[in-house]
Structure 1
């Protein structure tokens, strides 16, 4: 494309009257080529451009004028700058590619794909990062097997960026450790809360020169809303521990019911601000029933008029579909509702009891 433009400009200059001089436009060719060609290719275009400028000057009888060295030097300087620009662009493209690769590896390490089948449960999931170039954000999901039960967690970390991803790593590590230790569901939120606060305090203490009390206060500003559901073998119920998270939706035949917690609780990371044991809610869960766990990025998605996405109402339209189709329908419908990429991360997990 660059060579075609250069040839066209040179041909027009040679075929028209000497009074019409467009040789100066040739300087645009190296500048434009720097946006899409490699440095070596831009250098080749530069050499041809300088040659074309000289040929045009000969054709127009301007080669021996006092203005030609100035114009030629201008073209040469801009051409050199174009080569440098192409080099910088290529280096940044490589850095971006490396960052994407790191993000992909991080996603594989942190957000491990949930198994399609875990014990008596069928599991489907969807994750949408708010930032277009990111593979992972501040939302998190995980599943774990404990003696006699299966647990699924969905959480939402306060904030965005690498700091949120770091908190995600802490939370997932503590969740899996609790499963290995056999921590009871009633004790799990407090275990996660303590583990998360300890990690945040340690990180802040090593990165802040302020006194320990200040470091601790700053660290505790981070928190995570989370909901954990547990299914025990041989029981027809699901137990739910909710720490400030949107309530799961129970999909039973053609009905959609929000499972609001009986008692409110603080998000993880703020546990020392409130005392008392955490309440675990119990709900009937028959064979074929489904639970939809999600983050607030779904229900807080707004359209152009500011209306929130009506998740429960929309899900009621798709109760006859399987879990994968329901999640895909929600994703497509939510994106149409917003009219663009969501401004917050979105995570959804559908869990269905099969036996």
Structure 2
């Protein structure tokens, strides 16, 4: 499983923001300002600008570095004042006190920013751990099928989203794969992801047939939401309140069953973008014969779901994805044409295919607006 933030900033950008680059830049800036003031003599006095160096450095550097710059700035102001014969003036103590106060405030600001960044880094680690706990790494191969997956976060700071995937082998030996997208974002969407994945994994162990699986998932999800409402928060006397927004969420999903001999693939699509079958030079969208509603709509969904069946040949690649792929836009506002782009992609292996799509998507878009999950499965025997 490959994880990536949406920003995808190049290594050079991160290097430019590192301490080994920024501290020398701040020191050189301080020296240049001091030099201009000294060379200019009484005609040009820019000593007041010296205090801007530690103030701006507080945005990028740590408190010790800012303290160093503040001390050097005090020395530079004294030097410049001595050169301009202003040490004995009544205004010099005011200038010096201003430099000291601004330097001290810059050190405190850098310290506070460092704490916030540390807290954010810890939150990212927790978010990534939670995401990985929910979206367990997929095996590289199940039976006669190789698998590759990729998760792209729309926001570098937010590793948790409403996109989901899972794969396993059911009691008959068939390979079953789920890809879905919860409506909305935030922790409520993440909680729905956890509930749905738990129900899906239970269905594989229970031997639920594919035709009945959407109804099983829908009912299980709704039952879990009711249980949450009735269970109550720890330490409270009343039931746990469940927001209307939370209860009204739905999930677009597609479930794929690949026979144990990998000769056929059966698909149950619940309002999700169609899987793509890549066979030779062709890219074939596997549109459902009977449109079905997303999960979570309760009585609106049918008990038995329509299932489409297709042959799977050796070398065929089946690609599953969430709508974040096809809803990504270029700077002109045009949607990403996934099917057309796949016709020119490298498809030696599922991993190479997804990496090629990611690279092309990054170049096409001005930035991801939604999280993305992509899975590619290839019959190899």
TM-score with structure 2 setting the length: 0.83
Residues 25-61 of structure 1 show CA distances to partners (whole Å, capped at 9, x for unaligned) of 2211221222232212222322232233233333333
Q: CA RMSD in A?
A: 2.7
Greater shift after overlay, 30-39 or 78-87?
30-39
- Whether the 8 Å contact between 2:145 and 2:262 is mirrored in structure 1 is no
Query: 2: CA distance between counterparts of 1:12 and 1:315?
Result: 58
Aligned mate of 1:262, from 286, 289, 294 = 289
Q: Distance in 2 between matches of 1:158 and 1:78?
A: 48
Separation in 1, partners of 2:380, 2:40 = 80
Whether contact under 8 Å (2:279, 2:317) holds in the other structure is yes
Of 93, 100, 103, which residue of structure 2 is paired with 1:76? Answer: 100
Tell me how far apart the structure 2 counterparts of residues 238 and 48 of structure 1 sit (CA, whole Å). 70
Selected match of 1:316 from 343, 361, 374: 343
Match of 1:221 among 245, 248, 253: 248
> What is the count of residue pairs matched by the alignment?
351
TM-superposed CA distance for 1:225, in Å, is 0.5
> Does structure 2 retain, via aligned residues, the 8 Å contact 1:37–1:86?
yes
Provide structure 2 residue ranges, at least 5 long, that are not aligned to the other structure.
1-23
Residue 326 (1) aligns with residue 362 (2): no
User: CA distance change for structure 1 residues 263 and 48 in 2, over 3 Å: closer, same or farther?
Assistant: same
Q: Given the superposition, is the C-alpha separation of residues 292 and 8 from structure 1 closer, same or farther in structure 2, using an over 3 Å criterion? A: closer
Contact 1:204 1:218 in 2 (8 A): no
Cross-structure match for 1:111: 135
Q: Which segment is superposed worse, 117-126 or 30-39?
A: 30-39
Give deviations 1:67-106, integer Å, cap 9, x for gaps.
2222222222211211111111111221222122223222
CA distance in 2, matches of 1:335, 1:226: 25
How far apart in 2 are the matches of 1:11 and 1:217? 64
Structure 1 position 345 matched with structure 2 position 371: yes
Query: How far apart are residue 234 of structure 1 and its match?
Result: 4.3
Moved more, 196-205 or 128-137: 196-205
- Identify which of 309, 321, 325 aligns with 1:294: 321
1:167 aligned residue: 192
Contact 2:171 2:205 survives alignment (8 Å): no
Q: Which ranges of structure 1 fall in alignment gaps of 5 or more residues?
A: none
